[in-house]
Structure 1
Amino acid sequence: MTLGLSPDDLLVLLAVGRTGRFNTAADDLGLNHTTISRRISSLEKCLGGRVLVRSSGGWELTDLGRQALSAAERIEAAVNELALDSTGQQQLDGVVRVSATDGFSAYIAAPAGAAVRRRHPRVSVEIVVATRKASQIRSGLDIEVVVGKPQVHRAEAVHLADYALGLYASREYLRQNAVPENAEDLAEHSLVYFIDSMLQVDELDLARKLTVSMREAVTSTNVFVHIEATRAGAGIGLLPCFMAEQHDDLIRVLPAHIEVRLSYWLVARSESLRRPEVAAVVTALRETVDRKRSQLLGSPGTNEALSPESNDAGR
């Protein structure tokens, strides 16, 4: 080991390298920002170079920093080997922060987090809801789940699952309005979907183009608002099938004409994925996705549309 190099300084670098922020690392380690800064400065003096550089979204590791972080991971692993439970298994501990869309957060990330807690009671899972492109700087996050294949820098992107969007309307709405028989008929209806000017995800924006003839009704940045507005009869919603089909009062409209296939991707720093507690969350996410794969793709026959003869429009 380099003369004067402190293992504690390396573990501080490990915390900063994983979160990209001094404040977050300080909270995780029970230190203050000044101590974190002093430890990093001491480490850089010992190593003779910069281990971190400031970027627009936080702190990034230099090449020297990544070498030092590898050494820090070996120190952490050695310490963790001493923390075994009564069965001789390693006790995982720590906080894992996951960012995902609202639908994925509720139906996939939440049950996955519960599974992690059952297996590893000392691991906390924090779920941050966001519908956006993958961040180039994942400061303060361990895992991101985004829609569409991301272009990322110094991170790994892994395909999790495909899912489907379809058109849905409430039973009452279809009784009061003409049931669409083809895509051209959609021009007579209003759409419940995202706010166009605030949509940051290209794939979700492309999905809107399939319903370009429809005027907007109730729009929101939150897919749960889409669901409830559609159930309330605001219009026809372009909804994730795995969410819409949780509600018996929603009917699939034009399943043979309108369906959008999108994909969920998991993004994380390599150093984050090497953390046992992060790996445990990734495993739980994969297991939950596998268990719900058929729901994600939807079942056109689950909610059968009303026939035109059964609606009350014009009465």
Structure 2
Amino acid sequence: MGLGRHTRMSTLTALLWILMILVLNAFHLKAHLQVGFYDQSCGLAELIVKDEVRKGLMKDVGFAAGLIRMHFHDCFIRGCDGSVLIDSTALNIAEKDSSINNPSLRGFEIIDNAKARIEAICKGVVSCADILALAARDSVQMVGGFCYDVPTGRKDGRVSLAVETFANLPPPTADVNQLTQIFANKGLTQEEMVTLSGAHTIGRSHCTSFNYRLYNFSTENGQDPTLDAAYATQLKQQCPQGSTNASLVVPMDPISPFVLDSGYYMNILFNRGLFSSDQALSKDSTTAIQVNQNARNPCLWRSKFASAMVKLGQVGVLTGNAGEIRANCRVIN
């Protein structure tokens, strides 16, 4: 009986050691994501990314919105693994060519340029996923005037499937419950959802993403009654009914389309949210409070946005032995 008790104790001890090792391994993988990860291995990496973002925005400031949006769309599909950067092949349609992403995502060449320069001095060291996260941060700084530290150390994924975008990215028609659940699936709170939605204050949208609110909203009223009438008239002039021009675009925020500010929330308060998913934030009592707070306290929103972007950048990351460092962001090794 003593031997049996000893055996059971030994088994329990072994199980505890295994559990401890698993916990330590999980902590170790998480610890790989840290601010200044490349300080010793490629000290110029972050400066190169910032320089390429600066040059890109000098050509077209709209690339800032494209890079922030690209980072968001990357993280919501398989985590922040750079999979949105992978090109399609004859055998596979990649994320970037999903109807949700193409042609709305912009700035791929900025990532390519940064990657090429970094590879020239630090071959096989800096991941495409990290370059994208840094480029989004630099875009925020250049058009929003505020900055935050980006923990790095991500690895690149090897899979990119267009079909996965439809179930993971929020559509412009989503209501608050749907938005909350989609963000919760990625470990983000409802408040973080409202905060990150503020990125819609910059960039542009294709008319096809919202024209149903102008002409085909319901059988009783062709126009969405929650949309400000004067704003609807303006949008109709920019997006004529029956137009087959798929390239027609309008600014997300007509007041300050190239400045990352809290204007998005002011627009919602005045029923000028471009997407119904934007305006929906004013209809829920909890999110409406947050909309009001962000509209009236821009400094608070900027602080929350920075924190939410850092958390977004940690969704489903690959670290340690997982993933790879792509030599070319468009192609798996």
Q: Whose Rg is larger? A: 1
The answer to which structure, 1 or 2, has the higher relative contact order (CA under 8 A, 6+ apart) is 2
- Which structure features the higher share of strand residues? 1
The question of a shared fold, defined as TM-score above 0.5 by the shorter chain, is answered with: no
What interval of TM-score do these two structures reach, taking the shorter chain for normalisation?
under 0.3
TM-score (norm 1): 0.23
